[in-house]
Amino acid sequence: MVSGAMSEAVATEKLGARVRELRRERGLTLQGLAEKSGVSRAMISKLERGEKNPTLVIAARLAEGLEVTLSQLAGMEERREVIVVPKDCRMTMRDPKTGFERQLLSPSFARGGLEFVRNVIPESSSSG
């Protein structure tokens, strides 16, 4: 048996209730969502009643029609902290010979993670 938060969130009856909730919040009828998503009115109705579970393609179309992500559709939206490094606090590395500059736009994480770097190439230069 599969367990976990995601499988629980996409259980047929919960996903259907979520689609209905989002559709109503947006003031959409079944037909309106069908037109926006390309998913049949009948399929949406069966999904909302907990009679059907959508394929990933159908879920993606519904998410697009409702203007949410798949995670939001499943009720699993993950909130993450946004960290902005001000320009005067960025770690900057500049090659004195070429003038090529790299600016670290995100904090440097000791445990890995994703770092965003801005590369500045001097005018009339090439990145090679």
Q: pTM of the entire structure?
A: 0.56
> Is 81 inside any structural domain?
no
Is 8 or 106 the better-scoring residue by pLDDT?
A: 106
Structure tokens at 4: 């976990």
- 108 part of a folded domain: yes
Is 42 in the same domain as 64?
yes
Query: Are 68 and 15 a contacting pair, CB within 8 Å?
Result: no
| Residue 22 burial class via C-beta count within 10 angstroms: exposed 0-12, middle 13-18, buried 19 and up | buried
Please indicate, yes or no, if residue 94 is contained in any of the structural domains: yes
Q: Residue 45: which H helix or E strand, with range? A: helix 41-48
Token pair of 49 as six digits: 């009643």
Residues 91 and 63 grouped into a single domain: no
pLDDT-derived band of residue 106, with 50, 70 and 90 as boundaries?
confident
Shared domain check, 10 and 69? yes
The number of distinct structural domains making up the chain is 2
Domain span including residue 22 = 5-73
Flag whether pLDDT at 12 surpasses 70.
no
